[in-house]
Homo-oligomer: A and B are copies of this chain.
Amino acid sequence: MKKETIFIPALILGIVFGAALSLPAEKDGGKVSLGAGNILARKAFSVNIPSAKFVAETAYVGTVSGRDVDKFAITNLTPVRCEYVDAPYVKEFPLVVECKVIKTIELGIHTMFIGKIMDVKADKAILGKRNRPDIKKMNPFIFSQGDLGFYTIGDFLGTIKPLAEKVSPPSKKR
């Protein structure tokens, strides 16, 4: 993807955890959720990509607030301290991104955090060519807002360069 693709495609569903291992932060106005409060207080969060076998746990985490329940305890997921930032990550999930908050943007009913990636952790079992995460081995899933449904990743359609060259050969293109 090139620089002009500005609107970031967050392609795969991930669970964001702020510093749930620490005490929750409070914010005036009461708008902020526990997760957002933790992120604000610690300037840190982790993005945790579950594989499809954890779809129920992911759905559950998305429907409750950390104010009311201990999400790790109820789901039997294991919190581990991040190495580079003050937040927990989920041990059982195959891909974890540790992020430091570099910008906080108020959007009305949401607070958006922009993180700098400090570390990416992947289970060896999901690595493919050139030691990169292999999407089929990782087996992540997406959430469809329209029907509130979760879906796996489906058929491979091709890689970007050969597909692009179907439209215009390389000589003409550059």
Count of A residues near B, CB < 8 Å?
A: 83
Contact (Cβ within 8 A) A60 B167? yes
Is A63 in contact with chain B by the CB < 8 A criterion? yes
- Nearest B residue to A129 via CB reads B147
Q: A3-B109, A4-B109, A158-B55 are in contact. Are A62 and B164 (CB under 8 A)?
A: yes
Question: For residues 136 through 168 of chain A, which have their beta carbon under 8 Å from a beta carbon of chain B?
Answer: 141-161, 163-164, 166-168
Which of B146, B164, B166 is the one whose CB lies under 8 Å from A128? B146
With both chains docked as a complex, state the minimum distance between the C-beta of A174 and any C-beta of chain B, in angstroms.
Answer: 7
Q: A10-B7, A143-B11, A163-B59 are in contact. Are A65 and B152 (CB under 8 A)?
A: no
Is A135 in contact with chain B by the CB < 8 A criterion? yes
Give the copy number.
2
Q: A151-B154, A151-B157 are in contact. Are A110 and B3 (CB under 8 A)?
A: yes
Question: Could you write out 6 A-B pairs with CB less than 8 Å apart?
Answer: A6-B16, A7-B45, A7-B47, A57-B167, A149-B156, A150-B158
Interface positions of A (Cβ within 8 A of B): 1-14, 16, 33-36, 39, 45, 47, 52, 55-60, 62-66, 68-69, 74-75, 103, 105, 107-115, 128-129, 132-135, 141-161, 163-164, 166-168, 173-174
